[in-house]
Structure 1
Amino acid sequence: MLAPDDGWAAAEGGTTGGAAADAAHVHTVHDRAGLVRALDGGSDTPKIIRIAGTIDVNTDDRGRRLTCADYATDGYDLSAYLAAYDPRTWGPARPSGPQEDARRASAARQAERVTLKVGSHTTLVGLGRDAVLKGASLQVADADNVIIRNLEVRDTYDCFPRWQPNSGGLGDWKAEYDNIWLRGSTHVWVDHVTLSDRGRPDAAEPTYFGRNYLRHDGLLDITNGADLVTVSWSRFAEHDKAMLIGNSDSRVSDRGKLRVTLHHNAFEDIVQRAPRVRFGQVHVYNNRYVVPGDAHDYRYSIGVGTESAITAENNAFTTPAHVEVADLVKSWNGTGLQQRGTLFNGFPVDLLAIHNAYNSGSERDLVADVGWTPSLHGPISSAATADREVTRHAGAGRVR
C-alpha cells in the first residue's frame, strides 16, 4: 500500500490497489492464459495478481510461441509494403490500399494478444526477483486505484510499424505499444518496475526509407487526463522515448490533471522524454540519469512542454563529454521550470540559468515560478545520496 505522503498518488484518498480483494480474487499466474483470466477483461472487481517467473504474451492459448509471421494476414508482406509506399514513388500521402489494409489487419491480430487491460482496484505484483512480462502492453485505461510493483516489462514489440510520411519532416516509423500506458486513469502507483527493450533494441533494426525501423513506442506514457500518479524506484533503460506526460498541446481538457511524482528512478541510456510534460504539475526528485559514452543520439532528459509546471530537485546526471548541461532540458513551448540541487558529473549546476544562457534565441527563456510547491513527498536526499541509493535499489527484484 502506498504511504500517505508518497507523491501525487497519495492525494485525495490515496492508492490501495487490490487491498480489498477477497480470497477468490487473489491469483498467482504463470502464463498468459492465467494472467488474462485473472485480469478479467479489466473488470473493477478488487484483485491481487501475482506474477511468477517469465510470461511471454506472444503465445497462443496453449502456450505456443507466436512470431510475426503467425499474426500476418490478408497477404501482408513487408517487402511488398516497402515497395508500395516508397516515398520516391508514393509521395507524401498517408499509405492506403491493399498492403496498408493488410498491415492494419495483421496489427489487430497482434494487439489481441499483447494488450492487457488492467481495471480499477487492482494490484499487479511480481513474485521474488525474476518476475517478467515479455512483449506485453499493460493498459490502465479509465481506471482508478491501481498498483503495479516489482515487475520487469520488456520488449513490447510491434510486428507491424506504420509509415508516417510527414512525421518530423522526413517521415518516420511509428510503433504502437507502450510497455505501460496510463490513459485517463487516477490513483496509480508504479513502483520497482524495470522497463526496457531488452533482447531486441531498435538500434539493431534495419533502416527503411532512410529511417530506423522502430519496433517500440514509449516505456511508460501518462496521457488523456490521467491524474494522481506516483512512479518510484523504477528503472527505465536502453530506449528512445521513455515517458510522455500529456499527449497533445491542444488537449486543454488536461488542465488541472496529469499530476505526477517521479522519485528515485533510474533513467539509463534514454534518448529523450525522461519525462516530457504538458499541462501537468510534475515533481521530479532524487532521480538518477546516466548517458553512456557511446550514446551519440542523446537529445534531452527533461522536456518542458505547453503549460507544464515541473519542479525538479536533487537529481543527479552522469554524462560523457559531448553532452553539456544545456542539453539536459528542452523547451517545447513551455514557460517554467523550478529546479534546485542538481548534480552534473558530480558538480552542482543551475539547470534553469544554464538552459536560458545557452539556448537564448533558439528556445524561449524559462522562469522559475511554476505556480505550485510540492507538499506530498517523503524525505528528499541530496542528489549524491540519491544517486547511490537508486543505483542499489531501483528496479524490479529490489523491493526492500
Structure 2
Amino acid sequence: MKIDELYQLFLDCKAVNTDTRNVETNDMFFALSGENFNGNTFANEALQKGAKYAIIDDEDYRRSDKTILVSNTLKTLQKLATYHRQQLGLKIISLTGSNGKTTTKELINTVLSKKYKTTATIGNLNNHIGVPLTLLSMTNTTEIGIVEMGANHKKEIEFLCQIAQPDFGYITNFGKAHLEGFGGVEGVIQGKSELYDYLTSNNKTIFFNADDNIQKEKLSQYKNSKGYSQNNTDYYLINLLKANPFVNFKAENTTIQSNLIGDYNITNLSVATLIGKYFDVSINDIKAAIQDYVPTNNRSQIIKKDTNTIIMDAYNANPSSMEVALQNLNNQNEKNKIAILGDMFELGASADTEHQNIANLANHLNIDEVILIGENFIKTKTENNKVKQYRSFEDFKTHYKPITNSHVLIKGSRGMALERVLKLL
C-alpha cells in the first residue's frame, strides 16, 4: 500500500499505537517487532480490543481487510510520520543534548503554550519509534510541535532529522553521556551536532548558548542563529540571580522565580525564555509559565518526607550531570548533606575512570555522607569514613540505617531505579 493511501486510513483513526496493552477503539496499531518478539503476533489482539486497522509485515498474520500488509512496519511508521508532518505544514522545534533534554522540552512547551496550540514529546519518547509517534500525535490544530531527540551513537540524530524535518533546533550541551556508543566526548559532539548540521544545510533557525565555546564557535557566523548569554550583550541577556535551592533569574528587567534547583538549570530556563521571546510570547506570560512549571518524573524534584528534604534526581545519570548535581548539593546552605549515588551506565571503557572521578569529587566536597551503590561504584577507592559502598540496592537496603533531619540527593542511571530509596526514607 502506498503511503498516501495509508495516510487516508490514518486520518480515519483516533491515534497510532504500538502496544496492545494501551490500544483503544479506532486506533491504528503498528505491529513492531523487537529482538525477542514478533509484533505481528499481537495484530489480532489489537483488532479485538478495538483497533480500526493493524499494520503488519508478515502475510501469515493477515486475517481481514483490517490487517494492512506492508514490507516493514517500522519503516512504514517512520514514513507515515514524515508524510503527516509535511501535510500539516506546521513549525517543528527539535532539541537534543547530553543532559536536560526533557526538562528543556517541557519548559519550551510550557512557555509556548501561553500563546500557541502545541504538541510535544510525551516523556522521553525520543528515539526512532518515539519521534514518529510524537509527530503522528500532532493534529491540524497544532501550531508548533516540539520534538525531543535522543541518541547513543553517531548518525542517529541525522536520521531523526530526516523523519521530523525540523525548522528550529537547540542542543542543550555536550557531556559525557553514552560514551560507549559515541566512542568518546568528541563522538558525542559530532553526534549531537548532526541537528545543527541539518538545520544549517537547510537554512533553518538555530537557538544556542553563546556562553558555550563549542556552540559559539560553530554558530557565531551562521546568520540564522539566535543566542543567549549571561554576560555578552550581543545576545539575549539572562542574569542568574541565585540558586539556593531554586533558580531565580532576570530577563528584560523582569525577575523570574523557577521551581528548578541547581544553577545548571539556568541554561534550560534561558533557552525557553529566548524561544518564547522569538515567538512573541510576552515576558509576563513567559514569567507566569516558568513560575507555574513544577518538575516531575524524578528529575530534580524537591520532596519533603518526614524530617528529610530530598533532591530526587534519579531519572538518569552520566558523569556530567552527576558532577553538577553534586556541586549543587555542595552549594546548599544546609546541615547534614547526604549523597546517595547509583552506577552510571553506557560508559564503556571509561566506566572505571568516570566512577572513580565521581567518588573523588564527592569525597572532597562539603557533603557529610556519601553512599555509593552498584557494581561500578563498589570498585572505587575511597579516602575516609564518610563514604560507604554497596554492591547493589539490596545490599544497601539490608544495611540501611534511618536517615533523619537531612538534605539528601538521590541520583543514578535509570537502570539503578534509585527511586526505591524513597520508601526507605
TM-score, with structure 2 as normaliser: 0.28
TM-score, with structure 1 as normaliser: 0.29
Q: 1 or 2, which has the higher helix percentage?
A: 2
Q: 1 or 2, which has the higher strand percentage?
A: 1
Bigger Cα Rg: 2
- Which structure has more RCO (C-alpha within 8 Å, separation ≥ 6)? 1
